[in-house]
Amino acid sequence: MIRAAAPVAFACCLLGCALSAGCASPGEPTARHPVVPTTVSDLAAQQSGDSLILRFTLPARSADRQPLAEHPAVEIYRAKLPAGAAPDKKAPWRLAYTIPSEQIDHYLKDDRVEFHDALTPDDFAGSAGSAFAYKVRTRETSARASADSNVVLARAYPPPEAPSDVKAAVLEDAIEISWTAPAAASDAQPAYVYRVYREEVESPASGQAATEKLQVKAPFALLGQTAATQFQDRKFEFGRTYAYSVRSVAQYGSDTVESEQPVSSMATVTARDVFPPAAPTGIEVALIPATPGTPSYVELSWAIGPETDLAGYHVYRGEAEGSPGERISTEILPSPAFRDMSVQPGRRYFYRVSALDRAGNESPKSSATAVDVP
């Protein structure tokens, strides 16, 4: 009986040890395997100036769908390929850059990593369109990295020169951006076109230095492309401050390459409305005769102004045709009509009307319209 019970007791002992080893303390559970971030799947690459810009979404969860405790580190692999080669497993991959977890914030833009891989003169030494393949891995712990991301292929071309002397002028219905074209393209570079980008920034405070960086309210977005050296932005609003960037674009077959973005290719302007409305037209004046208990008065009316930011009107009255007169409307008139109850018998009056916009700009006065009070 003792011999038969011994194996059972031994098995129970093993089971107890296994259960003891598998149970953590009552506190936080202990991870049974290394935390592995999800695989990056949206890696993209684009040349800008003499850099290849990599962009991808930084993983926020592990492969088992648990939130990561902190940003993972990023490993960037690069392979320079011979002409016509494909980025396969035999490509000469090498670990080009490692971004530690604590430095990731410097590369984040709206939860996407943006990394500039600066190209060297040797990278342009070969034929135009040298090919570079990229892939990334992320790592939460040193024990194990994520799987390889999607592989992207980018071609490097001699970058075009950036335009210079960019200026922005506020017009009544547009902001006009103009610039000086770079030197004529060489035989190795095609003719340029230009892309115009705009971002909205905080309006500068009174006394703020022109060199002080303004807070961005809306990041750069492409407005349009042109072969000319000027562009009109008609999708603006008065009272806002905009920064414009103009970049040269060279076309190599189906590939395009943008220039760098130096200070000389940017301009900042606050769109202030200093443009008055047009003078009112169609002024009509009618004398309303006196009745028992009511003196004579004058009714004025005129055409509604076409401006979308019209605030109202002022009415002026004088007794000489060439006189600008004095304003007799005490408040801004919201409607194109006015009743003058202060006329005197036996006098001739000349009326003029002006329009005002919401920025406080006043139009020229209309032509004079006369009325005789018997």
Taking only the tens place, the pLDDT of each residue in 122-136 is 877 666 667 899 999
The answer on 299 and 209 residing in a single domain is: no
Q: Classify residue 299: in a domain, yes or no.
A: yes
Assess contact for 67 and 38: CB atoms under 8 A.
Answer: no
Distances (CA, A) of 363 to 21, 53, 145, 184, 354: 87, 51, 69, 46, 5
Residue 73 has pLDDT above 90, yes or no: yes
Last residue of a domain, one of 156, 185, 218: 156
Distances (CA, A) of 373 to 190, 285, 286: 76, 12, 10
Is the Cα dihedral 57, 58, 61, 62 positive or negative?
positive
Q: Classify residue 364: in a domain, yes or no.
A: yes
Q: How many domains is the chain partitioned into structurally?
A: 3
pLDDT tier for residue 21 given thresholds of 50, 70 and 90: very low
The answer on 291 and 264 residing in a single domain is: no
Q: Look at the block and give the residue holding tokens 């490509």.
A: 91
The model carries a pTM of: 0.73
- pLDDT at position 301, please? 98
Q: Classify residue 224: in a domain, yes or no.
A: yes
The answer on 294 and 246 residing in a single domain is: no
Residue 296 has pLDDT above 50, yes or no: yes
Residue 308 has pLDDT above 60, yes or no: yes
The answer on 58 and 143 residing in a single domain is: yes
Q: What would the DSSP string read from start to end of 216-254?
A: EEEEEEEEEEESSSEEEE-S--TT-EEEEEEEEEEEETT
The answer on 57 and 81 residing in a single domain is: yes
Domain with residue 212: its CATH number is 2.60.40.10
Q: Which amino acid does the sequence have at 133? A: A
The answer on 288 and 204 residing in a single domain is: no
- pLDDT at position 34, please? 85
Q: Which amino acid does the sequence have at 283? A: I
Taking only the tens place, the pLDDT of each residue in 262-291 is 888 899 999 999 999 999 999 999 999 999
Quote the domain boundaries for residue 265.
164-270
- Name, in order, each residue with C-beta under 8 angstroms of 20's C-beta and a sequence gap of 6 or more: none
Count Cα atoms within 13 angstroms, Cβ side, for 40: 30
The answer on 122 and 98 residing in a single domain is: yes
The answer on 139 and 69 residing in a single domain is: yes
Taking only the tens place, the pLDDT of each residue in 334-367 is 999 999 999 999 999 999 999 999 999 999 999 9
Last residue of a domain, one of 119, 136, 156: 156
Last residue of a domain, one of 270, 303, 321: 270
Taking only the tens place, the pLDDT of each residue in 99-120 is 999 999 999 987 899 999 998 8
Q: What is the average per-residue pLDDT within 211-226? A: 87
The answer on 193 and 140 residing in a single domain is: no
Distances (CA, A) of 177 to 151, 220, 242: 39, 15, 11
